[in-house]
Amino acid sequence: MNKVSWFSFIFCFLVLPIFAVSNRIAISDFAVHSDNPRYKYMGKGISEMISVELRKSHDVDLIEREKRAEILEEMEISLSDLADTEIQIEVGKMLIANYIVFGEIVDMDKKVLISLRMIDVESGKVVWNEKLMEKLSKYDLISGYFASSILNFLDVQVSKTTVAKIEKKEEKSEEVVIAFSTAVDHYDKKEIEQAKKELKRAKKIDPKSEAVRIYIVKLESISPKCRVELEKYIPAYNPASLSFIQNDKLFFWGSSTAFKEWGSENIPDLGDGFSGYESGGTWNIGYMFPLAERFGMAVEYIGSTLTQKLETPAIWPDPNFFGPKAVNMGGCVSIACRITDRFALGVSGFVYRTGETYEELQDDPTYYDVYGSVDFGIVGFLFNDAVILDVQVIYTTQEQRYFDREKLEIIEGQRYPLIIDNTITTAFLDNRLFVSLKGIEELYFDSRGGHALRVIPIVEYFFWYFLSVRAGYEYAHINQLGKFSNGHGFLFGIGGKIRNFELFFNYSYRNKILRILPGYTLPEQNILMGLIYNVNRIKR
């Protein structure tokens, strides 16, 4: 693909979506007028329930609650200040919103009177208003009614499930609204455990509440971005995690390695008379999206390069037999199913071709070998949702060769190892501090035998919801062909969120396990970068 084509691809898929949705809406918490203390946070709960219905439209870009809270904190604005229309307009401008919705709820004893209006931020005029007097126990009708009215005003499609809530007029228990509203208030104060307790109470009463389920998933998605590098034949994500995503995303992940000094032409000394290295890069470009209520799917393009070089003792007649390069190009499809709210399974299939250079793969379609790989994933929440377990098992049919140091010969036709990648994570300090233990096991079932294990404890801290830092230590243990070896390393990284974009960066320095020379490690640097764009065209 030439430079113009690459630019067109990036522009169409990453830049254009930013301008595709002009209905950028912010919803304020509604003011509550009631002497009933149980209704104190009702304005937050009803606001979020309406937001859930609005999110179902791919023609609406709903500004996240966390972003709105951040702006209010910066402007030192209280809930009482939001009754002022001029302040609402200023908030809307700070959020780069087209519209902002606000209003009040009045307790009328057996019913509540909800009065809402929407301002065009640019003109400052009220362009929509609506009222409804209804029992609080008919919260599905209330949220569906106002969301439908707003979407009709914007002349965009209303979800069938939203329409169904209006038509059913189902009466449930107002305790769901009270518990959910209290949970949202705890969430705002970062009192995560209290929020979970109220959400569980609401879910027990109404297991089908979409707003409750979305907040439960939001609080339980605690796995940090602790992948240390990209393997050359697996997707960027555990496929099982796709069943938890709430909206569609475009993503790019890239990983690049170099031995010792970056760009150095010196061949590192491996000991025992051997010198050599393995270096290269991998990149994943893909699109993930939710399917129905419990399914998710992703498609990816994966490309990689690998350069291997080995200089053996002088008695070997051809000391530079590895190289020049190996190039992989292929596609991957992943699908996941959430078996329960806390447990999901996923599988990925990857078909790719490999050769020595990109030019050979592009110019000569017969000059390549075709291989495939399968990735099984599990994501499960354990111990009352306090711990999350992430497991991947990866198998590929790609062949590999290595050098037998005892026989001083090349062993052809070997398989890549079976890889088991496990991560267990828990959270502290109201979900601001995450502690993970990552284990990556390579099992060799060919003539090499043995195994290679890496253990990586990682700590990640969120200063704000949009900025985090992480650090970790790595220990490597190898036992192959009768040779034991170990190594040490470290990593650090940052994560950030800007509007619809999420950015991640990891740097690691470690003793890499060498596949070309079993039982040996190589000092290596690795950079991993990720860019995610939340398209918000398909929503769960």
State the pLDDT confidence band at 360, using cuts at 50, 70 and 90.
low
Q: Which residue has the higher pLDDT, 536 or 202?
A: 202
115-149: b or e for each residue (b if 16 or more CB lie within 10 Å)? ebbbbbbeeeeeebebebebbbbbbbbbbbbbbbb
- At 78 the pLDDT is 59
Question: What percent of the chain clears pLDDT 90, i.e. is strictly above it?
Answer: 37
Q: Which residue has the higher pLDDT, 107 or 71?
A: 107
- At 314 the pLDDT is 54
Is pLDDT of 225 > 60? no
State the pLDDT confidence band at 114, using cuts at 50, 70 and 90.
very high
Give tens-digit pLDDT for 117-169: 999 999 999 999 999 999 999 999 999 999 999 999 999 999 899 999 999 99
- At 5 the pLDDT is 39
- At 201 the pLDDT is 93
Q: Which residue has the tokens 């509540």?
A: 112
Q: Which residue has the higher pLDDT, 332 or 518?
A: 332
State the pLDDT confidence band at 9, using cuts at 50, 70 and 90.
very low
Confidence (pTM)? 0.67
Task: Report the distance separating Cα 174 and Cα 194, nearest Å.
Answer: 19
Domains, the chain, ranges and CATH? 3-220 (3.40.50.10070), 239-539 (2.40.160.60)
Task: Report the distance separating Cα 131 and Cα 117, nearest Å.
Answer: 9
- At 7 the pLDDT is 38
508: left (phi over 0), alpha (psi -120 to 50) or beta: beta
Q: Which residues pair with 136 in a beta bridge?
A: none
- At 233 the pLDDT is 77
What would the mean pLDDT of 178-203 be, rounded to a whole number? 88
Give tens-digit pLDDT for 32-69: 999 999 999 999 999 999 999 998 887 888 888 877 87
CA distances from 338 to 188, 212, 287 (A): 27, 17, 19
- At 466 the pLDDT is 73
Mean pLDDT of the chain: 82
What would the mean pLDDT of 392-420 be, rounded to a whole number? 81
- At 367 the pLDDT is 54
State the pLDDT confidence band at 253, using cuts at 50, 70 and 90.
very high
- At 83 the pLDDT is 62
Task: Report the distance separating Cα 373 and Cα 400, nearest Å.
Answer: 14
